[in-house]
């Protein structure tokens, strides 16, 4: 048995001396992320709408555990990376003082509410819109 095993190992080594440095881009992949437990509801969405949207857009399979562990099963690296980015965007937490790029969703007299992450809005105060004093927020933002 030992002699046969060594024979097979020698044949394998003759074909490929060492493992490849990276997986094929077409190899199936499994990723595991951990998100805050309080973000599970946001990731799943009402009736599973959000998580179904990620699955439909990327073609991956996603399992969410009660402890915040998210398992992503993908058929290739590109779809896995896209799904991971979408999950991270949904579960991101805004940091005070950090600058974000976002979309204006509502304008009020004292500023504008800007969507900085999907489902997360932040207030852009009128004093932060421009270096010069402005009278109407609607004149500066649309």
**In Å, how far are 17, 24, 73 from 21, measured between CA atoms?**
12, 10, 21
Contact 42, 96 (CB under 8 A): no
Alpha carbon 127 to its chain's center: 32
Domain boundaries, the chain: 22-91, 103-140
pLDDT tens digits for range 80-116? 999 999 999 888 887 888 888 889 999 998 999 998 8
How crowded is residue 36: how many other Cβ atoms within 10 Å of its Cβ?
A: 11
Nearest to 64 by CA among 26, 27, 90: 90
Q: 19 pLDDT exceeds 80?
A: no
Q: State the fold for domain 22-91.
A: Ribosomal Protein S8; Chain: A, domain 1 (3.30.1370)
Both structure tokens of 109: 């007299």
Tell whether pTM > 0.75: no
């Amino acid at each position: 048995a030992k002699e046969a095993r060594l024979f097979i190992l020698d044949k394998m080594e003759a074909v490929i001396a060492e493992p490849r440095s990276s997986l094929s881009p077409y190899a199936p992949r499994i990723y595991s992320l951990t998100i805050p437990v309080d973000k599970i509801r946001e990731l799943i969405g009402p009736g599973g709408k959000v998580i179904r949207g990620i699955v439909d857009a990327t073609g991956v399979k996603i399992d969410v555990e009660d402890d915040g562990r998210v398992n992503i099963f993908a058929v290739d690296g590109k779809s896995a990376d896209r799904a991971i980015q979408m999950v991270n965007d949904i579960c991101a937490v805004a940091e005070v003082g950090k600058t974000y790029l976002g979309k204006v969703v509502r304008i009020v007299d004292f500023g504008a509410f800007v969507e900085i992450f999907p489902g997360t809005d932040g207030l852009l105060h009128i004093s932060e819109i421009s270096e010069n004093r402005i009278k109407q927020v609607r004149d500066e933002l649309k």
